[in-house]
Amino acid sequence: MPKDNGIGESPKRREDVRFLTGRGQYTDDMKLHGQCYAHFVRSDVAHGIIKSIDTSAAGKMPGVCAIFTGEDFVEVGGNPAGWLINNRDGTPMKEPKRPVLAHGKVRHVGDAYAAVIAETYEQAVDAAEAIEADIDEQDAIIDMAQALANSDHRVHDEIDDNCCFDWGWIEDNRAATDAAFEGAAHVTSLELVNNRLVPNAMEGRASIADYNPGTDHYTLYTTSQNPHLTRLLISAFVMGIAENKLTIIAPDIGGGFGSKIYHYGEEALVLAASKKLGRPVKWAATRSESFMTDAHGRDHVTKMELATDALGNFLAIRTATMANMGAYLSNFATATPTYLHGTVMAGNYTVPLVYVNVKAVFTNTAPVDAYRGAGRPEATFQLERVIDMCARELGMDPLELRRKNFIQPDQFPFTTAAGVEYDSGNFGALVDKLEEIGDLKGFAARKAESADRGLLRGLGINTYIEACGLAPSNLAGILGARVGLYDAATVRVNATGNISVMTGAHSHGQGHETVFPQIVADLLGIPAESVEIVHGDTSKIPFGMGTYGSRSLSVAGSAIVKATEKIISKATKIAAHMMEAAEADVTFEDGTFAVAGTDKSLQFGEVAFKAYVPHDFPHDELEPGLEETAFYDPANFTYPSGAYACEVEVDPDTGKVTVCSFAAADDVGNVINPMIVEGQIHGGLGQGIGQALVENCVYDENGQLLSGSYMDYTMPRADDLPSFTVDQTALTPCAHNPLGTKGAGEAGAIGSPPTVVNAVVDALSDLGVTHIDMPVSPSRVWSAIQAAK
């Protein structure tokens, strides 16, 4: 049987048909019989003591079914942090409880302290307005440095200061790193801010709980990137509902970018409400709620230092960061500024010493957690900005300074000074490719042409490496993870030869329904059309850790490979029985089983059918059926890398920055579907350029969210971005997973912010500008120009 749409091809996405015709099924599109509606009452102050909540009037409003406050969840567990981080002195981090509804105190604008359930959404909203809450506003703790300096005024009264942890990586390197700085010929130092972002998946979070009193079973439809992880958190930590009494269904999801990894209190609330009422209970966030309560991203303040010798050889890297946790620890919040950040601080370089210090800080702001890239964009930004600045100080070409310090292809596997082992890469080849696709030689002429129009043109260069494919469970465990980070798949060959693949990954834009069948089809030599993917339903799938950290293909895809290999092994046994041959003599190629040296052969479909019609199976030797499950736990992280170039024009009169071109050469390892990989890179670039140019989440000193809507928080629009030039051919396969893939989901968002800022600084370097924080808005650029005059 011919292969069709296998590995390396770009079939059209099968999921597109339902999305293009309005037949997608997102959580808020569902309407369960008898459902009522939840509406949350949220704090409008950043920090306050809840003196009393009077729900008596609201309870009498039309249509109200139930009202909940924090009192109702005092006995329920807290939503936990997924990673335990230890302080430099070995003591554990502080973990204040994160309740379902605020109790005793509200700790950020949007913190929910009550919920109304009513027959209609409008009735729930109307009744919420009748709740009388007496909240004694306290001074808000917003600035991280002040929060650390003042232990008397705390976000959480039960812990003794506002510092979650003070982490050193690698603590044993600290003294040697300091010594290297003492003796270095040149030190470049840069203080910078990695701006807070709001993820802004276009679909807001939504959940519908459906408790069945007849079976004592809960079903939760929810916007989750990882339904099994959500189930685990609810079962093991928050509500104690047995996993076999709780089904989590994550249907079509309108983007995640990290914000839908986490378990949120709204999910627990609708479950509790559905149990109490015996009816389905639905909640869907408004965009305002998304801004106030989705886990935000980034928000680091960093001092970055690079020590070199006189020739530009890197000697040591030292960083000190304050990382905002917000008011409560979200599930991955503590991993993001530590193990997803410090471990890649050596970048693409042979630098022998790295020391990273991170202080995580509680503030009266929304929780901060992993957002597309998660820790690696922050590391890349500070590293690649300081290298650019160093090149200018040394009078060297920024690209040549990087080349000089690259890990060379023959040095892999390479253990970096930040403590991880890169398995493969070829950074010089990426830069060569970048020079070609970005026409870097032509820059001088383009700069002159821009100057003729009164515009300042700049070229920004950046190289990056990231750690993804989360994650080897043994390493993750050593690093403090409270879960394993393997994934699982079941491949079920049905009697007529078509196949259902149950995967623990969840697709919310990544195209798994198209890509995963390509892998199975390629291995089995059958048409991809005969393979269907089942994802997002804990009742149908063995297990899975979900989709984030660019892990789906490398980890869940590898589990599918393993399960498919088991299918081939079992089917070979059946074929041997059918052809009355020794198993060792049966070959399998392109969907055909054959007996070597004979003309006997069977198609895959014939063997599949026999598996379910086993009239003559020797039952002590051969089991009926053709279904296999595999768990795959990676041996290491994967390490995608890339080289990016960006050209900008700056209008010196207005400070307006226009991105003229953007070229990206990425090594994402082997590519299964080039069309989808390009799309992932494009999307990451869009978000990274958005961070660099326009996006900024701002709280004022009272903790009011000033950027709480699309009128105040600038999203990159079509006319803010250029078309991109991308290439993924300068690749080195991952050395330790069966597909050789590394991951492409986050690369663009990691590599692009420093590229843009490097370009803007390059454009203004003749004026003496050395750094501008993101977003490089017209006002900041104009002010930098004026200050430099």
Partner 1 sequence: MTSVSMTVNGKAVSGEVEGRTLLSHFLREDLQLTGTHIGCDTSQCGACTVHVNGKSVKACTMFALEAEGAEVATIEGMANADGSLGVIQAAFQEHHGLQCGFCTPGMVMAAADLLAANSNPSEADIRGHLEGNICRCTGYHNIIKSIQAAAAQMG
Is 252 near partner 1 (CB under 8 A)?
Answer: yes
Cα–Cα distance, 21 to 27 (Å, whole number): 17
Nearest distance in Å: CB 688, partner 1: 9
Cα–Cα distance, 760 to 32 (Å, whole number): 52
Is 513 near partner 1 (CB under 8 A)?
Answer: no
Is 656 near partner 1 (CB under 8 A)?
Answer: no
Cα–Cα distance, 723 to 715 (Å, whole number): 17
Nearest distance in Å: CB 225, partner 1: 11
Q: Which stretch binds partner 1 (CB under 8 A): 242-250, 326-334, 550-558, 706-714?
A: 706-714
Cα–Cα distance, 339 to 487 (Å, whole number): 20
Q: Tokens 């406050």: give the residue.
A: 69
Is 13 near partner 1 (CB under 8 A)?
Answer: yes
* Closer residue to partner 1 in complex, CB, 119/243: 119
* Closer residue to partner 1 in complex, CB, 17/596: 17
DSSP characters over 365-410: S--B---TTTTHHHHHHHHHHHHHHHHHHHT--HHHHHHHHBPPGG
Is 706 near partner 1 (CB under 8 A)?
Answer: no
First-to-last CA distance in the chain? 72
Nearest distance in Å: CB 24, partner 1: 5
Nearest distance in Å: CB 780, partner 1: 23
Instruction: Yes or no: say if 189 and 214 are a contact pair by the CB < 8 Å rule.
Output: no
Q: By three-state DSSP, how is residue 453 classified?
A: coil
Is 63 near partner 1 (CB under 8 A)?
Answer: no
Is 778 near partner 1 (CB under 8 A)?
Answer: no
Cα–Cα distance, 480 to 86 (Å, whole number): 8
The angle subtended at Cα 86 by Cα 85 and Cα 87, nearest 5°, is 125
Which one of 682, 702, 765, 773 is in contact with partner 1 (CB under 8 A)?
A: 682
* Closer residue to partner 1 in complex, CB, 18/60: 18
Is 254 near partner 1 (CB under 8 A)?
Answer: yes
Region of residue 469 (left: phi > 0; alpha: psi -120 to 50; beta: else):
left
Nearest distance in Å: CB 675, partner 1: 5
Q: How many residues bind partner 1 (CB under 8 A)?
A: 58
Instruction: Yes or no: say if 290 and 257 are a contact pair by the CB < 8 Å rule.
Output: no
Which one of 63, 527, 652, 679 is in contact with partner 1 (CB under 8 A)?
A: 679
Strand partners, 362: 326
Site string for partner 1, 727-756 (x = CB under 8 A): ---------------------x--------
* Closer residue to partner 1 in complex, CB, 255/484: 255
Region of residue 738 (left: phi > 0; alpha: psi -120 to 50; beta: else):
alpha
Q: Tokens 């003599």: give the residue.
A: 585
Nearest distance in Å: CB 285, partner 1: 10
Which one of 131, 135, 253, 586 is in contact with partner 1 (CB under 8 A)?
A: 253
Which one of 72, 266, 384, 678 is in contact with partner 1 (CB under 8 A)?
A: 678
Cα–Cα distance, 587 to 38 (Å, whole number): 59
Which one of 2, 621, 718, 789 is in contact with partner 1 (CB under 8 A)?
A: 718
Please give the backbone phi and psi of residue 275, each rounded to the nearest 5 degrees, phi first: -65, -45
Interacting positions 26-55 with partner 1 (CB under 8 A): 26, 28-29, 31
Is 665 near partner 1 (CB under 8 A)?
Answer: no
* Closer residue to partner 1 in complex, CB, 259/338: 259
Is 709 near partner 1 (CB under 8 A)?
Answer: yes
Please give the backbone phi and psi of residue 364, each rounded to the nearest 5 degrees, phi first: -85, 60
Burial class from Cβ neighbours inside 10 Å (0-12, 13-18, 19+) for residue 182 reads exposed
Is 16 near partner 1 (CB under 8 A)?
Answer: yes
Which one of 287, 303, 446, 780 is in contact with partner 1 (CB under 8 A)?
A: 287
Cα–Cα distance, 447 to 442 (Å, whole number): 9
Is 281 near partner 1 (CB under 8 A)?
Answer: no
Which one of 91, 286, 408, 474 is in contact with partner 1 (CB under 8 A)?
A: 286
Nearest distance in Å: CB 719, partner 1: 4
Cα–Cα distance, 467 to 348 (Å, whole number): 12
Instruction: Yes or no: say if 750 and 373 are a contact pair by the CB < 8 Å rule.
Output: yes
Q: Which stretch binds partner 1 (CB under 8 A): 333-341, 344-352, 708-716, 754-762?
A: 708-716
The DSSP element (H or E) to which 655 belongs, if any, is none
* Closer residue to partner 1 in complex, CB, 257/548: 257
Strand partners, 503: 489
What distances in angstroms separate CA 102 from CA 107, 108, 159, 209, 235, one per listed residue? 8, 10, 17, 21, 20
DSSP characters over 600-654: -EEEHHHHHHHHH--TT--TTT--S--EEEEEE--SS-B--EEEEEEEEEE-TTT
Is 249 near partner 1 (CB under 8 A)?
Answer: no
Helix residue ranges per DSSP H, 244-316: 265-277, 287-293
Is 698 near partner 1 (CB under 8 A)?
Answer: no
Is 723 near partner 1 (CB under 8 A)?
Answer: yes
Nearest distance in Å: CB 535, partner 1: 14
Is 711 near partner 1 (CB under 8 A)?
Answer: yes
Q: By three-state DSSP, how is residue 238 classified?
A: helix
Q: Radius of gyration of the chain from Cα atoms?
A: 27
Nearest distance in Å: CB 377, partner 1: 16
Cα–Cα distance, 420 to 423 (Å, whole number): 9
Nearest distance in Å: CB 423, partner 1: 29
Is 125 near partner 1 (CB under 8 A)?
Answer: no
Which one of 1, 19, 119, 212 is in contact with partner 1 (CB under 8 A)?
A: 19
* Closer residue to partner 1 in complex, CB, 173/207: 207
Nearest distance in Å: CB 716, partner 1: 8
* Closer residue to partner 1 in complex, CB, 177/259: 259
The DSSP element (H or E) to which 553 belongs, if any, is none
Site string for partner 1, 192-231 (x = CB under 8 A): --------xxxxx---------------------------
Question: Residue type at 235?
Answer: S
Region of residue 90 (left: phi > 0; alpha: psi -120 to 50; beta: else):
left
Q: Which stretch binds partner 1 (CB under 8 A): 150-158, 303-311, 474-482, 683-691?
A: 683-691
* Closer residue to partner 1 in complex, CB, 17/613: 17
Is 99 near partner 1 (CB under 8 A)?
Answer: no
Instruction: Yes or no: say if 199 and 295 are a contact pair by the CB < 8 Å rule.
Output: yes
What does the binding site for partner 1 look like in residue numbers (CB under 8 A)?
Answer: 12-13, 15-26, 28-29, 31, 122, 200-204, 252-255, 257, 286-288, 508-511, 675-676, 678-679, 682-687, 689, 709-711, 715-719, 721, 723-724, 748
